[in-house]
Structure 1
Amino acid sequence: MINPVLLRSFCTLVEVANFTRTAEQLNMTQSGVSQHVRKLEDQFDQPLLIRHGKQFTLTDAGERLYREGREIIRSLSDLEKRVGADPAYEGLVRVVSPGSVGLKLYRHLLNLQKRHTGLVIDYRFAPNSDVERLIAEHKVDIGFMTSPSTLDEVSFKPVAEEELLLVTPSDVFEPSWEQLSSLGFIDHPDGAYHAGLLLGANYPEFQHSKHFKRAGFSNQINLILEPVSMGLGFTVLPFHAVAAFPEPDHIRVHSLAQSVSETLYLCLHTNKFVPGRVTTVISEAEACLE
């Protein structure tokens, strides 16, 4: 295998056409340059230069080595730049979060990508357990969770609070326990958990969401409020999911006496270097969630 240091010396010598100036350019001695050329000649077992005093001409082998070597040196130089580069607005960034915060963040991050087209946003919606696993397995760069991680591989910090909201059909003005029981619960994957937090803090009668008539279910965050808007039941959802609903006049959001919020945690792999593009997306996400 050719030593790239020797190859660089030879190519520089051919381009400068002078041993002394080549040595100065490479911060070497003139004898060091000559030694590098001799080592290459020994490796190829044929002369590369024909010397004429202080001048020289290339042999056929020297011509071929220079043509090929120049491309190799250029490629190595480009590789060094690419490996050492840490662009803030280029490359793929993989993000995963629960659905509600995703409805808030995804469009914001797409606008970031629109401003910096070298950046590519890969956004997935997933429950907390999947977010945690994907981070631990190095399958995503950034995760958001609504509970602290239990894994050593996942570091986390609180970045925002998201209020839980009781949402009913638009014709319900002050929801009593009897009205909620009559309407029935529109369930979703986090329905029991959210209902337990908010309704448990505001209705003494509440024991568990399963005690309500089950009036519907959807696992698509952007569809959960559809049956509510049609008068088919009520539900409890985080703020961003409610704010994203396109027909707010068809639902009613209620401020209860005891407000309840979920803490949103930014999660990263504990032992993974955070490149510039990921830092950029984190900064944008935190600003969006303030």
Structure 2
Amino acid sequence: MDIRALRYYVEVVDQQSFTRAATRLHVTQPTVSKMVQQLEQSFGVALLARDGKRFQVTDAGHVVLQRAREIIALHDTMKVEVRDLQQMGRGVLRMGLSPFTHTVLAPVLAAYHANHPKIELKLFEIGSNATVADLRDGGLELGTLLDFPRVADIWTEFDSLPLFESPLCLLAPAQSPWQGRAFVELRELADCDFIFYGDAFALNDLVTDACAEAGFVPRISGRSGQWDFIASLVGLGVGIALLPHMYCQTLRPEQFTIVEVRSPALIWKLVLAWRRHGQLSFAAQAWLQLARSLLQPPGSSGPGRVPGAA
């Protein structure tokens, strides 16, 4: 049984004639007769009680007729919905974004909305650790992740598109021992109070690993998932913070000490990730295409990360 057989059967009943049904369906009358017979064979019962060129719908035929109309209507609705998705006339895109990416990704989001105004963007501001979990269970299609050595093994299950990277800088009060320095070595900060990030942020792990390499465990005086609030706490003397240079550039330099950190150098490298073996929606595919065109430098090769690459 297929949808075509159901359509032929409904048309025969509506027209009360195999010949008129064939004309409306633009097929031959024997074709219509054969399809109706195949439908009867699939149910093992007569749907039409034939008397020469006339027929009556049987009790079983009425049941099949009612359900056939419902199935045909549902099938047609599905075709319209799928076509709308393909043509970006409807849909939802769920993305997990670092709260710190809004200034960079806002132009992409604006361009996407201009191109596809009927796609609903559901944006979740969460850290990398939470994003990984939500990508795995299908709660998100796309998400920004921090790429650094500790998470190297996740690239066996995710593909990614490099977005941007920025060195981490020391953010300290304006009157600090590092004011005017070109750079600071991380070990010099061993006795400082650090303001860390929310628990779901992989940036905590990046900084903790670097501190361990420098020979100390950071002493944490506070946490926040909002960089503006972290900067305010630094300005009030609650502690120091390590924040991307691209963000530090937005601050008023006379109010802070902003110095690049070295030994080891810390790089905030953000990528857009998605499940390698998942099927992306049309909405997600369109977002990736737009992000590649707007964010990747001219001449950049490849659709994203090579598995296992640094």
Q: Judge same fold: TM > 0.5, yes or no.
A: yes
Match of 2:144 in 1: 144
Alpha carbon RMSD of aligned pairs, Å?
4.4
Please state if 1:187 is matched with 2:195: yes
Bigger shift: 272-281 or 140-149? 140-149
Deviation for aligned residue 1:194: 4.0
Hey, what does 2:270 align to over in structure 1? 264
Residues 39 and 184 of structure 1, relative CA distance in 2, 3 Å threshold: closer
Q: Give per-residue Cα distances to partners, 1:194-214, cap 9 Å, x unaligned.
A: 48869x9xxxxx75463xxx5
Quick one: which of 165, 174, 179 aligns to 2:180?
174
Task: Report the secondary structure of 1:274's partner residue.
Answer: coil
Q: Number of aligned pairs?
A: 272
Distance 1:22-1:186 versus aligned 2 partners, 3 A rule: same
Distance 2:261 2:2 in 1: 75
1:124 and 1:48 mapped to 2: Cα distance? 64
Secondary structure of 1:218's counterpart equals strand
Pair 1:192–1:167, CA change in 2 (3 A): farther
Any conservation in 2 of the 1:92–1:122 contact (CA below 8 Å)?
no
Q: What is the 5 A alignment of 1:128-277?
A: 129-147=129-147, 149-151=152-154, 152-171=156-175, 173-174=179-180, 184-189=192-197, 190=203, 193-194=206-207, 207-208=215-216, 210=218, 214=219, 216-222=221-227, 223-239=229-245, 241-242=247-248, 248=252, 251-252=255-256, 254=258, 256=260, 261-277=267-283
Structure 2 distance, partners of 1:126, 1:257, is 22
Structure 1 gap ranges (5+): 201-205
Post-superposition offset of 1:79: 1.9
Does 1:73 pair with 2:72?
yes
Decide whether the 8 Å contact of 1:169 with 1:230 is kept in 2.
yes
Partner of 1:47: 48
- The answer to whether the Cα contact below 8 Å between 2:47 and 2:57 also exists between their aligned partners in 1 is no
- Tell me the equivalent position of 2:126: 125
Asked whether the 8 Å contact 1:196–1:208 carries over to 2, the reply is no
CA distance 1:241–1:170, change in 2 (3 Å): same
The aligned residue for residue 94 of structure 1 is 94
SS of the aligned residue for 1:217 comes to strand
CA distance in 2 between counterparts of 1:71 and 1:156 reads 43
* SS of match in other structure, 1:70: helix
User: Counterparts of 2:289 and 2:222 in 1: how far apart (Å)?
Assistant: 35
Per-residue deviation, 1:34:
2.2
- Hey, what does 2:304 align to over in structure 1? none
Q: Is residue 6–residue 40 contact of structure 1 (8 Å, CA) maintained in 2?
A: yes
Indicate whether 1:12 and 2:17 are aligned: no
